[in-house]
Amino acid sequence: MLLLLLIIAFLNTTSQVRWNGQGGDGQWSTPANWSGNVVPGAGNDVLLDNSFIAGSYTVTLPAGNTNVTIRSLIITPAGGNDITAVLPATNTAAPGFTLTSSGTGLTINSGGVFRNASGAGSGTPINIAGTVWVGNGGRYIHNSSRSHVEIVAVLATAPGTATGIFEFDIPGTNAPIISFTNRTFGTLVLSATTAGVPRTYTANGNGPATIRGDLIIGDNVNFNINLNNSVIVHGNYEQHGGMLNLNSSSHNTVLQISKHFTQTKGVITESNNMFPIIELNGTSRQHITTASGISNSITFKVNNAAGIALQTPLSLPYKLELVNGQVITTASNLLTLQAACTVSADTLSSASFIDGPLKKEGLMAASQFLFPVGKGNSHRWLSLVNATGNYTVEFFRSSPRSISSSYHTSIHHISSIEHWIITADASPVPQAQVKLSFNDPNSGGVTDLAALRVVQLYGGTWANAGNTSCMGTPGSNGFVVSNMLHPLGSTNNYFTLASTTASFNPLLLKQHPLLNYAHTITGMVTPTITTMDTRLVLNAKKRAPVTLMISNMAGRTIQTIPVYLGRGNNSILIPAATLPAGTYVITVAGPEGVMQPLRFVKL
């Protein structure tokens, strides 16, 4: 009999206790609020759910210098309800709440909230032996000026917790340092609700901080980060006021964001003349919404193959770095580079460029400024040389011949594929040379740089804007630079590539931009290294008249050979024996397009 009583007593001390709220006052210490009418003790696991109460409710732990000790607490509301447990500001004990389970001591499931508002004058309000599970849809609020380290250090990081919220809502007007470096959060929220005035949080250290959900900065919140490492946000960045300072001391913080960037109010800045980075590095297209924007020496880095799309205008003060992915802009959602802002992009890569208009302000006799613009899968950059003024540039993958078919007498034909629009502000008076790029076969065949020209639509006619310099390889890539255009004009200025002769630079493709001779003609040079003549072997899927153009590496066409290809293999003698030693490019061009260029070396 004695053994049975001991077993019953043991089971009672380790059993689960549920809240039924029958005491009607929401107080933890009221026995009638618990199943069995017994306040939970040190051996109990406590469950706050909707087994007895259908709606939302709040449970408040005792006031005074009182510590409540249990094994574990689970908060699990039924769908649509909220259940909140509060360690109140009137509790002054340290600790005021102790969880002894070595497993998961505190579990907050969707709809559950635990608010630590401890009023202790010192020490640690919550003593926990195990871990804290803040599940997706759950929320832990640190609402006390006392330590939060013991909770942040044991946050569960297993699947199912990425959107569980850890919120700092610390009262008072001081600037607390939060435990951030080498920490992993689900969703992190910084708020100033309890303070009621602007509240500053500071994070220092050398290790990274990982946020598996969203980083949300509330209204009236200033967040100073001095991290000599990365803040890795796998979810969204949301800023609803205040200031994010990415360099409040002497370190260059990198803020990496994998999903959308939303700023409804507030500003992002740095205050110590360092060079922090905001990096967009998601795997699906990211939307960028800004209000007050970004200031000082912050680099905006695009590193997302799926690209980013502006939902509002974006103005950058310091540097735009394009690594991977397109930036989608429109006239109403314009990307503007301020006067001191530079741009970094690989002009030989189609992996990253601005698809839409790009504005640059404050050019003052600038030796050169790059506009890495393009459309679709084509990066078709433009540079302004010796430029003064404010300019907006956009590239279009469409025929400029449809705009006008009237040419200056010095121009034989213009591109049928692509054009650029340059719009300049009226003040300061705009003047510049225009450097246009080409990239074959997408440019439709650049075969002779000397015959290549920049043309500008002027009075309904494509005017010869000149060729003051050029560089590149026929059939590959390069550029041509115009004369100085003064004034450039404050309305839309259309520019494209042109040729002075019929024989060179076909600049022609059919309407489908991907159609070129790589689909219908294949070829090889044999031998590719020779001291005498060599042969070009072309296999054509259908009969076609083409022109072979042999160019040197300086871009000058040395010889043109008209050929009518028969269906199947065609062997064509290339008279290399008479050529000086060097590397040469053979371009095959005709009415349907341009074949990828072939090379040979004459010894």
Across the range 344-350, mean pLDDT stands at 94
Residue 177 scores a pLDDT above 80:
yes
Give the whole-angstrom CA distance, residue 483 versus residue 60.
78
pLDDT tens string 538-574:
988 888 888 888 888 777 778 888 888 998 999 999 9
Do residues 537 and 499 make contact, with C-beta atoms less than 8 angstroms apart?
A: no
Give the whole-angstrom CA distance, residue 308 versus residue 282.
9
User: Which pLDDT band holds residue 509 (cuts at 50, 70, 90)?
Assistant: low
Residue 499 scores a pLDDT above 90:
yes
Closest CA to 598 of 534, 541, 544, 543: 534
3-state secondary structure of 14: helix
Give the whole-angstrom CA distance, residue 348 versus residue 343.
15
What's residue 13's pLDDT?
46
The angle formed by the CA atoms of residues 497, 411 and 516, to the nearest 5 degrees, is 45
pLDDT tens string 182-199:
999 999 999 999 988 899
What's residue 12's pLDDT?
45
What's residue 8's pLDDT?
39
Residue 232 scores a pLDDT above 50:
yes
Chain-centroid distance of CA 221 in Å reads: 24
CB atoms within 10 A of CB 166: 24
pLDDT, greater one: 562 or 234:
234
3-state secondary structure of 430: coil
CB atoms within 10 A of CB 546: 25
CB atoms within 10 A of CB 497: 25
Residue 371 scores a pLDDT above 70:
yes
Residues 6 or more apart whose CB falls under 8 angstroms from that of 7 comprise none
DSSP H helical segments within 274-373, as ranges?
A: none
What integer best gives the mean pLDDT of the chain?
91
SS3 letters across 169-231: CCCCCCCCECCCCCCEECEEEECCCCCCCCEEEEEEECCCEEECCCEEECCCEEEEEEECCEE
What's residue 301's pLDDT?
98
Residue 48, classified by CB atoms within 10 Å of its CB into exposed (0-12), middle (13-18) or buried (19+), is buried
Do residues 296 and 317 make contact, with C-beta atoms less than 8 angstroms apart?
A: yes
The angle formed by the CA atoms of residues 564, 500 and 371, to the nearest 5 degrees, is 110
Distances (CA, A) of 177 to 83, 117, 124, 174, 530: 29, 17, 16, 10, 72
Give the whole-angstrom CA distance, residue 511 versus residue 280.
35
What's residue 394's pLDDT?
97
Closest CA to 274 of 293, 251, 295: 251
Residue 512 scores a pLDDT above 60:
no
pLDDT tens string 235-252:
999 999 999 999 866 678
What's residue 490's pLDDT?
63
pLDDT tens string 118-167:
999 999 999 999 999 999 999 999 999 999 999 999 999 999 999 999 99
Residue 517 scores a pLDDT above 80:
no
Residue 3 scores a pLDDT above 80:
no
What's residue 519's pLDDT?
54
Give the whole-angstrom CA distance, residue 545 versus residue 563.
6
The whole-model pTM stands at 0.85
Across the range 409-423, mean pLDDT stands at 95
Residue 340 scores a pLDDT above 90:
yes
Residue 271: DSSP 8-state: S
Q: Percent of the chain having pLDDT more than 90?
A: 73
Residue 312: DSSP 8-state: S
pLDDT tens string 429-475:
999 999 999 998 888 889 899 999 999 998 899 999 999 999 998 88
Residue 352 scores a pLDDT above 50:
yes
